[in-house]
């Protein structure tokens, strides 16, 4: 049986927080919101507790967890060394949607790091997350609170869908703000390397600390190399129906998708389409969901996972999505969308100017 408690995001009810903290300290599992996605928390320094996360999610045990903290003092206990550049990054982007990788200290169990000598650490900004982390002892391991292979949860209902009956408690503070997981920045290499794109972009980091590498497997279809973040190798964020991304001039994309939709519908299939405020009118005949506006890819980030879940619930047979700009948070949006699509992308040629 899973207890679900609603709280106010800005002023979390102290009684609910105490209850969540008690469960975490006793080695139990509590899902809670962060500004990126909902996390599934356990005491990070208790190996048995961390193991329960893998069981609840059906997650492969070589996929390491992120440890969540609320202040810099606590970082010192779980890493061997904090590089100067990391301090600089932390000053600007912690608390926030950013995870950094360090050499782990002895105290961090291998059960939390998937056997690695490094540890991922994040300091979230969400008031409810911070309250839960502190109440739970200050070191909370938390992957996204979804069943392995499903889209990450952006509201408490998604968590309940996947994990009800498998965890002790869900702290519900409403939908999250950002909607895609934190940027992961590896500080154990020089220059630092982005292993997963998120709301803290490469441009933002480079402005602060100079050159930053990006793991080449992030946007490419079939790199022979394994991604440096073990979790990025799994087919994540996958909707049940096949998903294809279509890139090209707006009208051509709509025409292509429209033609394909008509064919599939004639064969008795249900089609879902991911479009934007600007383009939704171009698809008269199908189940169209508006991801957001092209003026701000952040709006797409916050809706994307919910849309993939909605199409699952609608029972569509195929999903076609428009493509998005890869600038800023668009890099994170396209990374998640292409992963959900298993990198199936149709590129229509750009038209010559008249
Ligand atoms: O926004 C987020 O980061 C959310 C919220 C809950 O904080 N958490 C999250 O955790 O996305 P998860 O477990 O779903 O993704 C963590 C990613 C995985 O791809 C994992 O392989 C990678 O981080 N990772 C963790 N520790 C690592 C390490 N030591 N070295 C390289 N990659 C690591
Ligand atoms: Mg995840």
> With a 6 A CB cut-off, is 112 part of the ligand 1 pocket?
no
Answer yes or no: is 38 a known binding residue: no
Is the peptide bond prior to 191 cis by the omega test (within 30 degrees of 0)? Answer: yes
Strand partners, 318: 242, 271
CA distance 299 to 310: 17
Selection from 9, 82, 34 nearest residue 198 by Cα: 34
Report the pLDDT averaged over residues 189-199. 97
Answer yes or no: is 59 a known binding residue: yes
Answer yes or no: is 11 a known binding residue: no
> With a 6 A CB cut-off, is 83 part of the ligand 1 pocket?
no
> With a 6 A CB cut-off, is 34 part of the ligand 1 pocket?
yes
Bridging pattern class, strands 193-196 and 287-290: unpaired
**Interval 38-48: pLDDT, tens:** 999 999 999 99
* Closest Cα to atom 7 of ligand 1: 39
ipTM higher than threshold 0.90: yes
> With a 6 A CB cut-off, is 181 part of the ligand 1 pocket?
yes
pLDDT at 149 (0 to 100): 86
Kindly report whether the global pTM for this prediction surpasses the value 0.90.
Answer: yes
CA quadruple 61, 64, 68, 74: dihedral positive or negative? positive
Whether 353 has a pLDDT exceeding 60, the answer reads: no
Region for residue 22 given its phi and psi (left: phi exceeds 0; alpha: psi -120 to 50; beta: otherwise):
alpha
Q: Which atom of ligand 1 is nearest to the CA of 152?
A: 14
State the pLDDT confidence band at 239, using cuts at 50, 70 and 90.
confident
Contact 307, 323 (CB under 8 A): no
Ligand with the closest atom to the CA of 147: 2
């Amino acid at each position: 049986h899973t207890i679900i408690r609603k709280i106010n995001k800005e002023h979390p009810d102290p009684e609910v927080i105490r209850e969540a903290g008690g469960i975490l300290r006793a080695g139990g599992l509590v899902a809670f919101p962060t500004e990126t996605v909902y996390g599934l928390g356990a005491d990070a320094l208790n190996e048995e507790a961390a193991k329960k996360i893998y069981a609840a999610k059906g997650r492969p045990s070589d996929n390491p967890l992120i440890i969540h903290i609320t202040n810099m003092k606590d970082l010192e206990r779980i890493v061997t060394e904090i590089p100067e550049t990391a301090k600089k990054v932390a000053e600007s982007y912690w608390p926030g949607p950013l995870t950094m990788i360090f050499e782990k200290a002895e105290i961090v169990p291998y059960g939390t790091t998937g056997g690695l000598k490094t540890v991922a650490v994040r300091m979230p900004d969400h008031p409810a997350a911070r309250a839960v982390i502190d109440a739970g002892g200050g070191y909370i391991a938390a992957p996204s609170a979804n069943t392995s292979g499903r889209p990450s949860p952006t509201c408490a209902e998604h968590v309940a869908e996947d994990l009800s009956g498998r965890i002790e408690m869900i702290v519900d503070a409403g939908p999250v703000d950002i909607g895609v997981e934190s940027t992961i920045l590896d500080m154990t290499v020089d220059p630092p390397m982005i292993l997963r794109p998120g709301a803290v972009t490469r441009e933002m980091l480079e402005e602060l600390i100079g050159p930053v590498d990006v793991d080449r497997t992030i946007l490419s279809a079939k790199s022979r190399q394994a991604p440096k973040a073990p979790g990025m190798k799994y087919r994540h964020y996958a909707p049940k129906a096949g998903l294809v991304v279509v890139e090209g001039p707006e009208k051509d994309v709509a025409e292509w998708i429209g033609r394909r939709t008509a064919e599939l519908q004639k064969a008795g299939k249900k089609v879902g389409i991911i479009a934007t405020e600007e383009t939704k009118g171009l698809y008269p005949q199908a189940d169209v969901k508006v991801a957001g506006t092209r003026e701000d890819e952040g709006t797409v980030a916050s809706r994307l996972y919910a849309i993939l879940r909605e199409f699952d619930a609608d029972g569509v047979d195929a999903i076609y999505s428009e493509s998005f700009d890869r600038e800023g948070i668009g890099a994170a949006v396209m990374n998640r969308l292409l992963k959900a699509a298993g990198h199936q992308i149709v590129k229509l040629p750009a038209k010559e100017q008249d």
